[in-house]
């Protein structure tokens, strides 16, 4: 089955972008509502190039229902772009492939036609030291925001959602400035009609592409994400394809995206990753030291408790039963007092028998597979467990 990238458009009166795709049986249209300010005079050529990047990576959400190697793109791709989008649709969909019994040859392969249009050397349409910071309500993005504020940089906080609500902590993080809310209207009806396969998509690169569009509209000269040294450890392999839930957070993915940005969008717009040199255990320590007093009882990295379809996620919670909760509990055990974590989770997660298999996967015990979630490396998590503060219980197996 083939998949076609049809077209995209942007209405500068409403801030609504439309992205259209088609496979052999269904046509899809996703709408994204961006924030616009009449006072900001953005560069329309740069915006067009950023919208094309968003168009290409957003397509993963619709391509996957009937994934195949044949894709059709009306725009001209050069050799580098074709290889880049191969990476997004192969490495970025590796977990999807693993869970649906696919191999690299079954996934999208993009064909170069000729040289693509490169970005101008400089467009001078951005305001210096004006940053757009993606905030999710998790520890990494909140830490990145606070680190940036220490540098006295003007920060817009941005949250991307496909729901009606967004976490209250986003308002808290924004401070005196209202948060920038970008709303995705995913074509759920067409996806439901299409049926087919489902699975994880490279959501970080999708969010970055949308953030780049929003940054151009607000004339911010950088987008900022809280991404540490993640995704280094594959969960499994499919022949030569590493299966990685976090591929779009890896150093390779971020390097490629930065190259794409400089070559095909703008040399004046940057991606800043203030945590990229830190591992997850160090980030947990930094968050405990810099951010716990401000956000400790409000933040959450738990997807299960907060991001179910149509759920109200104004107040973030922890389910206490998933891999993200188990991972976070482990990471903070050396830095946050037992009583603090017990207050948040309601019980000692190390003594919860329902989490035994999850902890075995996180820590590499008895051959249990590492959970498909954004979690720390096994070496970090083992160190965190052995360095836990007094009061924490013990897991029911040796590490």
Angle at 186 between CA 39 and CA 140, to 5 degrees: 70
Q: How confident is the model at residue 271 (pLDDT cuts 50, 70, 90)?
A: very high
pLDDT tens-digit map of 14-66: 999 999 999 999 999 999 999 988 767 889 999 999 999 999 999 999 999 99
Please determine, for residue 122, whether its predicted confidence score (pLDDT) is greater than 60. Answer: no
pLDDT at res. 229: 86
Cβ 31 vs Cβ 17: under 8 Å: yes
Please determine, for residue 120, whether its predicted confidence score (pLDDT) is greater than 70. Answer: no
Q: How confident is the model at residue 294 (pLDDT cuts 50, 70, 90)?
A: very high
Q: Is residue 366 part of a domain?
A: yes
pLDDT at res. 126: 84
Rounded to the nearest 10 degrees, how much is the dihedral formed by the CA atoms of 271, 81, 33, 310? Answer: -90
Q: What is the mean pLDDT of residues 210-225?
A: 95
Q: Is residue 332 part of a domain?
A: yes
Q: Is the model more confident about 106 or about 137?
A: 106
Q: What is the mean pLDDT of residues 86-107?
A: 96
pLDDT at res. 181: 95
pLDDT at res. 124: 61
Tokens of 120: 């101008």
Rounded to a whole number of angstroms, the distance between the first and last alpha carbons of the chain is 47
Among 310, 299, 171, 294, residue whose Cα is nearest residue 226 = 299
pLDDT at res. 308: 66
Q: Is residue 296 part of a domain?
A: no
Q: Is residue 379 part of a domain?
A: yes
Please determine, for residue 292, whether its predicted confidence score (pLDDT) is greater than 80. Answer: yes
pLDDT at res. 165: 81
- Looking at residue 64, the DSSP 8-state letter turns out to be G
pLDDT tens-digit map of 176-199: 788 999 999 999 999 999 999 999
- Helix residue ranges per DSSP H, the chain: 44-58, 60-63, 79-90, 94-99, 139-149, 168-174, 188-194, 203-218, 251-260, 280-290, 292-295, 303-306, 323-332, 338-345, 356-363, 378-386
- Name the domain count of the chain: 1
- Structural domain span for residue 326: 318-386
Beta bridge partners of 376: none
pLDDT at res. 119: 64
Q: Is residue 98 part of a domain?
A: no
335-343: Cβ within 8 A, 24+ apart: 335/284, 335/285, 335/288, 335/289, 335/389, 336/288, 336/292, 336/296, 336/389, 337/389, 337/391, 338/389, 338/390, 338/391, 338/392, 339/391, 340/292, 340/296, 343/297
CA atoms within 13 A on the CB side of 157: 27
- Looking at residue 178, the DSSP 8-state letter turns out to be P
Q: Is residue 286 part of a domain?
A: no
Please determine, for residue 158, whether its predicted confidence score (pLDDT) is greater than 60. Answer: yes
Please determine, for residue 111, whether its predicted confidence score (pLDDT) is greater than 70. Answer: yes
- Cα distances from 107 to residues 7, 21, 56, 66, 79, in angstroms, run 21, 17, 15, 10, 18
Q: Is residue 26 part of a domain?
A: no
DSSP characters for 98-157?
A: HHTT--GGGS-B----SPPPPPPS----SEEEEEEEE--SSHHHHHHHHHHHTTT-EEEE
Cβ 287 vs Cβ 238: under 8 Å: no
Q: What is the mean pLDDT of residues 220-232?
A: 90
Which residue's entry shows tokens 């005196």?
176
Please determine, for residue 305, whether its predicted confidence score (pLDDT) is greater than 50. Answer: yes
- For the chain, what is the mean pLDDT? 92
* Residues in CB range of 24: below 8 A, 6 or more apart: 1, 2, 66
Percent of the chain topping pLDDT 70: 96
Q: Is residue 144 part of a domain?
A: no
Q: What is the mean pLDDT of residues 352-376?
A: 94
Please determine, for residue 346, whether its predicted confidence score (pLDDT) is greater than 60. Answer: yes
Q: What is the mean pLDDT of residues 114-118?
A: 67
pLDDT at res. 121: 47
């Amino acid at each position: 089955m083939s998949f076609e990238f049809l077209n995209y458009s942007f209405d500068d009166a409403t801030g609504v972008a439309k992205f259209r795709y088609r496979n052999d049986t269904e046509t899809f249209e996703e709408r994204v509502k961006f924030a616009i300010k009449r006072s900001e005079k953005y560069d329309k050529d740069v915006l067009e190039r950023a919208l094309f990047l968003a168009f290409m990576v957003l397509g993963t959400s619709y391509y996957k229902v009937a994934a195949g190697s044949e894709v059709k793109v009306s725009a001209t791709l050069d050799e580098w772009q074709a290889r880049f989008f191969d990476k997004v649709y192969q490495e970025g969909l590796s977990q999807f492939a693993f869970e649906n019994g696919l191999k690299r040859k079954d996934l999208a392969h993009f064909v170069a036609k000729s040289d693509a249009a490169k970005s101008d050397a400089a467009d001078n349409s951005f305001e210096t030291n004006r940053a757009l910071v993606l905030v999710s309500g998790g520890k990494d993005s909140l830490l990145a925001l606070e680190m940036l504020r220490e540098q006295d940089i003007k920060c817009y906080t941005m949250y991307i959602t496909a729901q009606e609500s967004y976490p209250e902590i986003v308002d808290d993080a924004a401070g005196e400035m209202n948060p920038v809310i970008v709303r995705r209207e995913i074509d759920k009806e067409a996806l439901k009609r299409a049926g087919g396969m489902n699975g994880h998509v490279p959501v970080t690169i999708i969010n970055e592409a949308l953030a780049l569009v929003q940054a151009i509209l607000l004339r911010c000269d950088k987008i900022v994400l809280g991404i540490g040294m993640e995704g280094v450890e594959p969960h499994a392999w499919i022949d030569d394809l590493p299966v990685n839930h976090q591929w779009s957070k890896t150093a390779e993915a971020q390097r490629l995206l930065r190259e794409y940005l400089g070559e095909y969008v703008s040399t004046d717009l940057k991606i800043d990753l203030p945590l990229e040199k830190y591992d997850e255990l160090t980030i947990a320590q930094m968050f405990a030291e810099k951010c716990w007093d401000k956000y400790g009882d409000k933040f959450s990295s738990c997807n299960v408790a907060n991001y179910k379809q149509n759920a109200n996620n104004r107040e973030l919670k922890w389910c206490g039963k998933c891999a993200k909760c188990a991972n976070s509990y482990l990471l903070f055990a050396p830095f946050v007092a037992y009583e603090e974590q017990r207050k948040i989770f309601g019980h000692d997660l190390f003594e919860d028998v329902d989490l035994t298999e999850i902890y075995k996967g996180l820590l590499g015990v008895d051959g249990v597979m590492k959970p498909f979630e954004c979690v720390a490396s096994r070496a970090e998590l083992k160190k965190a467990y052995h360095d836990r503060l007094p009061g924490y219980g013990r897991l029911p197996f040796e590490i």
